[in-house]
Amino acid sequence: MRRFGRLVLLTALALGGDAAAEPIVVRDAFERTVVLPTPPQRIVTIFASNVEMVAALGLSDRIVGIEAYTRYPPEVLSKPLVGGRLGFSVDRVVEQRPDLVVVTPARQAAHQLVDPMERLGIPVMVLLQRDVAEVLANIRLLGRAAGVPQQGEAVASGLETRIAAVTRRVAGLERPRVIMITGRLGNGLLLVTRPKTYTGDAMVLAGARFGLESAIAQVSPEAILNADPDILLFAGNQRDLDELVARPGWRDLRAVKGKRAFAVSRSELLIPGPRTIDGIEHLAAIFHPEKAAR
């Protein structure tokens, strides 16, 4: 009898609460309406950014599939792989019996997964996080989709508070001209951060302005030498930065001579997610060291 009572109680708890009765309906970045009959418990998250946002909501244990280039947080790394650089496996996703698939339209993911999931009736959400505002909006959206809206709100507003603290600190300060190199191509061209990207947002929020505004991400080294920024950032390790700035021409850059060339974290600045806010704080300390001591 007591056992029965406990069962009734558990059932009541499962059915009650805030979300179980009505289906959850959200709109995604492709303006698709996604209907979740119950809060999803088995989520396949494609790409590091989506994994990190779901994990930030405290839902790592609901993740049942990731792709091969996910490196964080540690507790999800043992989850089954459903894709990698060469694409994504519909077979492998379905094998995980997911009740939600979260993708971003990069590396064919949306192209390869949205259509089959729709045909099979597995809810799939497409998220775009092109700038910091979209990152925050998506954390809230994922919170609502997963049936934990308060958590989404709490995480997002916590991050907003930290961003506001940084922008207050750097307000009114002289903005250094900054170029961030995010990659090197085989033909010698360099990839630089552009405005209106989350990485570009991070630079501006942290109190910098662009040392070089290029319509195309690939620029020649000459353009960077010519722009002669106050601060040079390199998203990668120190050794590669040292090797780059030791080249003829680079040694004479104002940033290199003034010891203001820095290697910065790729995972903070090239994965749009909660850790981007860490990146903003770290950039602010680089741009305005005098104000960094909080």
Partner 1 sequence: MKIWIVLLVALVAAVIVAACAGHDWASPADLVRAVSGDQAMRSRLLFEWRMPRVLAAALVGALLGLGGAMFQGVFRNPLAEPYLLGSAGGAGLGAAIALLVPLGAPQSIMLPLLAFVGAWGSTVVVIAVSRVAGAVDTAGMLLAGVAVAALLTALRSFLILALSDETMNLQVVLSWILGGVQTPTWGGLGLLALVSLACLGLTMLFARGLDVLGLGEAMASTFGVNVKRFIGLAVLAGSVVVAAAVAFGGLVAFVGLASPHIARWLIGSRHKPLLPASALIGAIVVTLADAIARSALPPAEIPLGLVTAIAGAPFFIVLLARRLRA
Nearer to partner 1 (CB atom), residue 68 or residue 246: 68
Nearer to partner 1 (CB atom), residue 198 or residue 262: 198
Bond before 73 cis per omega within 30 degrees: yes
Nearer to partner 1 (CB atom), residue 11 or residue 108: 108
| Region of 259 on the Ramachandran plot (φ > 0 left; ψ -120 to 50 alpha; else beta) | left
The Cα 98–Cα 252 span in angstroms is 55
Q: Site residues for partner 1, window 229-268 (CB under 8 A)?
A: none
Q: Which of 216, 248, 259, 294 binds partner 1 (CB under 8 A)?
A: 216
- Please state the closest distance from residue 234 (CB atom) to partner 1, in A: 15
220 binds partner 1 (CB under 8 A): no
Q: Which of 73, 87, 195, 221 binds partner 1 (CB under 8 A)?
A: 87
275 binds partner 1 (CB under 8 A): no
Q: Which of 107, 140, 260, 288 binds partner 1 (CB under 8 A)?
A: 107
Among the residue ranges 84-92, 149-157, 167-175, 244-252, the one whose residues contact partner 1 (CB under 8 A): 84-92
- Please state the closest distance from residue 116 (CB atom) to partner 1, in A: 5
- Please state the closest distance from residue 185 (CB atom) to partner 1, in A: 10
Binding mask 6-45 for partner 1 (x = CB under 8 A): ----------------------------------------
The Cα 180–Cα 280 span in angstroms is 13
195 binds partner 1 (CB under 8 A): no
Q: Is the separation of the CB atoms in 99 and 42 below 8 Å? A: yes
The Cα 102–Cα 46 span in angstroms is 6
Give the CA dihedral 264, 265, 271, 272, nearest 10 degrees.
-60
188 binds partner 1 (CB under 8 A): no
Type of residue numbered 255: A
Q: Which of 2, 85, 239, 294 binds partner 1 (CB under 8 A)?
A: 85
β-strand partners of 103: 126
104 binds partner 1 (CB under 8 A): yes
The Cα 139–Cα 114 span in angstroms is 20
Q: Which of 19, 20, 26, 81 binds partner 1 (CB under 8 A)?
A: 81
- Please state the closest distance from residue 5 (CB atom) to partner 1, in A: 35
213 binds partner 1 (CB under 8 A): no
| Contact footprint for partner 1 (CB under 8 A) | 68, 81-92, 94-95, 97, 104-108, 111-112, 115-116, 119-121, 182, 191, 194, 197, 199, 215-218, 270
